[in-house]
A and B are shown apart, each in its own frame.
Chain A
Amino acid sequence: MNSANMRSSSFLSFSRQYLLSIVLIASVTALFFALREALDSTLIALLYLIPLGMITAFWGLGPGIISALITFLTFNYFFIEPYYTFTVHHAADVVILVVFLIVAVVISQLVARAQAGLEAAMAREREATQLYELSTALTGLHDEHAIAQILAKQVHVVAQGEYVELNIVGTDPFAFHLPDIIPLTRLPELILPIEAARGVIGEIRLWRATPAISSNEKRLLQTFASQSALALERAWLAEAESRARVLEESDRLKSVLLSSVSHELRTPLSTIKAASSSLRENEVSWDSPARVELISAIDDEADHLNMLVGNLLDMSRIESGVLNPKREWNILPEILGTVLVRMRHRVGEHQIEVDVPESLPLVPVDYVQMEQVFTNLVSNSVKYAPEKTRICIRAFVEDESIHVQVSNQGPQVPQEHLERIFDKFYRITAADRVTGTGLGLSICKGIIEAHGGRIWAANVPDGLAFNFTLPLIWDGVTSPQLPTDTEIE
């Protein structure tokens, strides 16, 4: 009830407290003196207990006892006959003095205890609030840096430190400090270890010269440390778990890859082995057409093997994020032209229709990687669409990007598979029907996305179309202007 008074009393100097006590007793005495005729001396003694109690309650035991003595003397002097002497006539008057003293002591004790209890309760409440705030802030955090940041902030706020530094020694040690100033050169006033089940995982270093860090504060900070240790451990566990999941997934993919790859690699190898061994055994006469056939089979299959290995390398590069397109301003029809010339034997009986206008602006792409995209899309169409059907390649500009479409008259793909055909090893038809690594389209996706573009498949009335877009703006620049060249020989 009097917490404000009690707290403000601590700011008063000792002498002021004593002075105020004396002033209070004096004014009360003056009041009583004025009413002396109307009041009985026993009643006055009783009334004196009010200021006495108040003084003790407000200002503590010292002023209380002094006031008790003064009260006794003034009471004796002014209100006990004979007046204006300090002579004590009755033993009962001594009892009054003793009562005054006892009242002062007992009240001061009670008040002190209540005050201590109240302060403790408030401190506990404050600690609980701070701890609650910390643990709320830490909930759901899975990033060790974020956890360290929250902890440092809370320690800084709660301890009102000049400087707080956190050192976390996890798998990847790091330090965090507040405020963002040059570290203090002197040693920290407090170093608290952050201990987890597996040992010390870091420490809190706190600089605060004044006021000195109390044991209560230290205890609270220790609780902070253990809360954060729990949060850090939780974060690390979650990370380890997700890493384990990723590993498991990549393990599964690797075994799929291995089985797919070994099958794919063995097929051309078997052809090569069969052809070369029969040539070696002289089973085929030197001038027979079979010999030429076998030799070209070896040659073709070696190329096929080379392409498979290339695809695998591309895929691993995409997966590990080191594809890094070497972008330059290129002419799309030129890239497409090179691809079509190189693929002319593989296209077979398919008709290729190209509608890629000369007027297209230059596109900022990696030449070799775009060749790869066109090669994979065209060869996918060649593989799945029946012979003698049309494969159309067209390109046009659309909203500051270039839109390319490679469509074929092959089987349509059910809606639910359209997204997934760009996944690794994803096949709609049974694996034995079509050869390939199942990587071609996912390589396209990796390359297009590394260029900041988008690729998707869609069913068109008579077949399937692959679409991709590529941004025409590179580093904030559109297609460059060329120096003029008017001088004619």
Chain B
Amino acid sequence: MNNAPHILVIDDEPQILRAMRTILTEKQFKVTTASRGEEGLTLAATNEPDIVILDLGLPDMDGVEVCARLREWTQCPIIILSVRDGERDKVAALDQGADDYLTKPFGIEELLARVRVALRHSTRAQGAQNKVIKAGAIVIDLAWHIVKRGDDEIKLTGTEHKLLAYLAANRGRVLTHQSILTHVWGPADANHTEYLRVYMRQLRKKLEDDPERPQYILTEPGIGYRFIADE
């Protein structure tokens, strides 16, 4: 396949690079690796990869900074790799424009799922936005502001609808608390995580079959939420 998506992996651990190269090449991706931030930035500029997978703990510079510098000139998807308890760094990188994150150690199926979402999202950004989104029995019509389960319309309040529309438009991607709050309630309420908790719960009660075991609106602990729609 000539048009294989090109993935740039920036990580300082040789074992991780080796495993990623093996696995991703096996999955028909074109893989370039860098072990330092500066090297990664140079490779990103010369190779113009379709996706960047970036480790936050680099020896020469902060991963959040690499993320910010990439965002100065490219919109290519960035997936952050970080260790557990690095929530603050992850949120910082996501707010700097990273698209998604993975916590080390991660399973390869998780990585591939994230890569697929990121690729789909970047092609979607270029083309027209999908107006009707399906998630299991749920159908969301963004243009007509209608949400249905099967044939039954689900009544949503204005805020609930705004919230769901934002989640659905970014399906598959992780959205930080701050970005959701800023988008739905406005920048002044960006720290009121409690609004989010309460409204997400209401939304789950209306959408999910079992609100305690959500299938569509997933919580990303300490980070934000992710909406899972059909492929």
Asked if residues B84 and A310 are in contact (CB atoms below 8 Å), the reply is yes
Question: Which residue of A299, A317, A329 is within 8 Å of B193 (Cβ)?
Answer: A329
Asked if residues B212 and A333 are in contact (CB atoms below 8 Å), the reply is yes
What residues of chain B lie closer than 8 Å to A341, measured between beta carbons?
212-213
Q: Is the CB of A337 closer than 8 A to any CB of chain B?
A: yes
Asked if residues B145 and A306 are in contact (CB atoms below 8 Å), the reply is no
Q: How far is the CA of A362 from the CA of B197 in the complex (A)?
A: 9
Q: Which segment of A96-104, A174-182, A480-488 sits at the interface?
A: A480-488
Q: How far is the CA of A313 from the CA of B105 in the complex (A)?
A: 15
Q: Digit string of B192-219 for contact with A (CB within 8 Å is 1, else 0)?
A: 1111011111000000000111100001
Total interface residues on A, CB under 8 Å, equals 31
Within 8 A of B (CB), among A459-489: 480, 482-483, 485-489
Asked if residues A313 and B157 are in contact (CB atoms below 8 Å), the reply is no
Asked if residues A489 and B197 are in contact (CB atoms below 8 Å), the reply is no
Q: How far is the CA of A306 from the CA of B84 in the complex (A)?
A: 10
Count the A-B residue pairs with Cβ separation under 8 angstroms: how many?
75
Q: Is the CB of B124 closer than 8 A to any CB of chain A?
A: no
What residues of chain A lie closer than 8 Å to B211, measured between beta carbons?
337
Asked if residues A328 and B221 are in contact (CB atoms below 8 Å), the reply is no
Asked if residues A487 and B157 are in contact (CB atoms below 8 Å), the reply is yes
Beta-carbon nearest neighbor of B153 in chain A: A489
Asked if residues A489 and B157 are in contact (CB atoms below 8 Å), the reply is yes
Q: Digit string of B166-192 for contact with A (CB within 8 Å is 1, else 0)?
A: 000000000000000000010000001
Q: How far is the CA of A47 from the CA of B156 in the complex (A)?
A: 124
Asked if residues B158 and A489 are in contact (CB atoms below 8 Å), the reply is yes
Question: Which residue of A329, A368, A489 is within 8 Å of B145 (Cβ)?
Answer: A489
Q: Digit string of B89-110 for contact with A (CB within 8 Å is 1, else 0)?
A: 0000000000000000101000
For residue A383, give the distance in angstroms from its CB to the closest CB of chain B: 22
Given contacts A340-B212, A482-B195, A485-B199, 17 further A-B contacts (CB under 8 A): A326-B222, A328-B194, A334-B219, A337-B213, A337-B214, A338-B221, A341-B213, A354-B212, A362-B197, A368-B85, A368-B87, A482-B194, A483-B185, A486-B157, A488-B158, A489-B158, A489-B161
Interface residues of B (CB under 8 A from A): 84-85, 87-88, 105, 107, 145, 155-161, 185, 192-195, 197-201, 211-214, 219, 221-222
25 A-B Cβ contacts within 8 A? Answer: A313-B84, A313-B85, A326-B87, A326-B88, A326-B222, A329-B193, A330-B193, A337-B213, A341-B212, A341-B213, A362-B194, A362-B197, A367-B222, A368-B85, A368-B87, A371-B221, A480-B194, A485-B157, A485-B160, A487-B157, A488-B158, A489-B145, A489-B155, A489-B157, A489-B158
